[in-house]
């Protein structure tokens, strides 16, 4: 049986570098309450680490267990705020909580929480202004679930606390996979580069649903192009825009692919290509999870849970086409989340079933990864965000 991260003996500040020596900070969410689709719950809640990218030394700056299953986080480093979901299987409604982050010490201070009108809140994001939190609900296997909203928008108060939802939407539909696509399963929400469109990846419906977003009021209306259809049975999970905004990349959980769309005048065209995240000949059980792109848009990465690797791609800046350049072991089991450090020098992987974060080095010329051997023990990590604190 797993032990908690605290019981495993995390380093104290007496043993590790002072926060001012850290070149980046890591906010980590972990499972601390049993859920039926995950074997074990060894986490403490939300942890904040300082990492020295020169030496690999690290410090646990703060930790809070006053929250249930914070499986996903959103961080506003500029304002010093951390927002966390609560994904609890028994609940028909999730929660989103707000914390103040001290830029000098890394201490977390609870502000407030709001109810999310849907179950299994599995993803959080900020809009382009950081004035709204976008919460996505994966949902139970019940077509008539109440309140059953796919995602909701929460205005952020001046003190960093959350107001009640200003908008929410409900999805209808299904996919060909009877085990995973009987009902809608929204999995992530992202705002467009112009912050005028909110898109939701729905694994159950094989769709990206699009909504016009009023960034003054936090309200949503159906977009002119209301949906983007993915290949049947693909199961879109997470997605992102290229840094220049001209392409959109979707990682599919069920098909283990990255699907590429061209973006012209705010509209998506395609798909223009689809590429596997797995090496040729692999036939085991595996599911994709997270997707990230380098700041210059030249390299894209996706995580494989089961194959337990990070798929590495080079991206053509003009066409958006991807070329597989390698598959690197993730340094553990079940890489549910990973983050690129702001320096671009490292990738930090949250290996959910290894109770640790693994740090991989990124070659700036080739985009390829190598294992540094650096490990940060934390129980059942499900989300990691890397950032440089302000202030």
Decide: 118 and 152 in contact? Cβ < 8 Å: yes
Tokens of 346: 């490292």
For residues 371 and 115, give the distance between their C-alpha atoms in angstroms, rounded to a whole number.
40
- Residue ranges for the chain with pLDDT beneath 50: 1-17
For residue 38, what pLDDT is reported? 79
Beta-strand relationship, 257-264 and 267-276: antiparallel
Select from 148, 20, 130 the least CA-distant residue to 83: 130
Q: State the pLDDT at residue 9.
A: 33
Q: How far is CA 158 from the centre of its chain?
A: 25
Residue-wise pLDDT tens digits, 294-323: 999 999 999 999 999 999 999 999 999 999
- Rounded distance between C-alpha atoms, residue 294 and residue 76, angstroms: 19
Widest Cα–Cα separation across the chain: 57
pLDDT digits (tens, 9 = 90+) for 320-371: 999 999 999 999 999 999 999 999 999 999 999 999 999 999 999 999 999 9
Rounded to two decimals, the pTM is 0.95
**Radius of gyration (C-alpha) of the chain in whole angstroms:** 19
Return the domain boundaries, the chain.
240-329
CA angle 333, 337, 341 (to 5 degrees): 115
pLDDT on residue 35: 85
Which ranges of the chain does DSSP label H, i.e. alpha helix?
none
Contact 251, 277 (CB under 8 A): yes
């Amino acid at each position: 049986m797993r032990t908690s991260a605290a019981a495993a003996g995390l380093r104290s500040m007496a043993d590790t570098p002072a926060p001012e020596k850290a070149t980046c900070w890591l906010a980590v969410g972990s499972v601390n309450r049993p859920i039926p689709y995950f074997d074990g719950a060894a986490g403490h809640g939300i942890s904040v680490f300082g990492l020295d990218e020169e030496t690999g030394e690290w410090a646990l700056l703060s930790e809070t267990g006053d929250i249930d299953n914070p499986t996903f986080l959103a961080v506003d480093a500029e304002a010093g705020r951390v927002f966390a979901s609560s994904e609890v299987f028994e609940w028909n409604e999730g929660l989103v909580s707000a914390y103040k982050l001290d830029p000098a010490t890394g201490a977390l201070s609870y502000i407030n929480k709001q109810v999310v009108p849907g179950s299994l809140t599995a993803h959080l994001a900020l809009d382009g202004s950081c004035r709204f939190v976008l919460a996505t609900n994966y949902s139970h296997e019940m077509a008539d679930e109440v309140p059953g909203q796919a995602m909701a928008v929460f205005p952020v108060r001046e003190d960093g606390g959350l107001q009640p939802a200003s908008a929410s939407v409900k999805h209808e539909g299904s996919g060909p996979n009877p085990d995973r696509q009987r009902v809608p399963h929204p999995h992530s929400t992202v705002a467009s580069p112009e912050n005028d469109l909110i898109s939701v990846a729905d694994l159950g419906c094989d769709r990206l649903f699009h909504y016009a977003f009023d960034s003054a009021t936090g309200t949503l209306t159906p977009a002119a192009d209301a949906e983007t259809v993915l290949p049947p049975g693909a199961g879109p999970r997470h997605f992102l825009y290229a840094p220049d905004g001209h392409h959109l990349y979707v990682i599919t959980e069920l098909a283990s692919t990255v699907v590429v769309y061209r973006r012209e005048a705010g509209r998506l065209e395609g798909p223009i290509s689809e590429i596997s995240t797995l090496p040729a000949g692999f036939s085991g059980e595996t599911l994709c999870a997270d997707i990230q792109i380098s700041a210059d848009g030249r390299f894209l990465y996706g995580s494989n849970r089961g194959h337990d690797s990070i798929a590495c791609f080079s991206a053509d800046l003009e066409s958006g086409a991807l070329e597989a350049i390698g598959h690197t072991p993730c340094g553990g089991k079940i890489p549910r989340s990973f983050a690129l450090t702001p320096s671009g020098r490292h990738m930090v992987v949250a290996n959910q079933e290894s109770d640790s974060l693994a740090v991989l080095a990124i070659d700036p010329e080739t985009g390829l990864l190598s294992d540094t051997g650096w490990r940060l023990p934390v129980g059942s990590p499900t989300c990691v965000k890397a950032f440089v604190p302000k202030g």
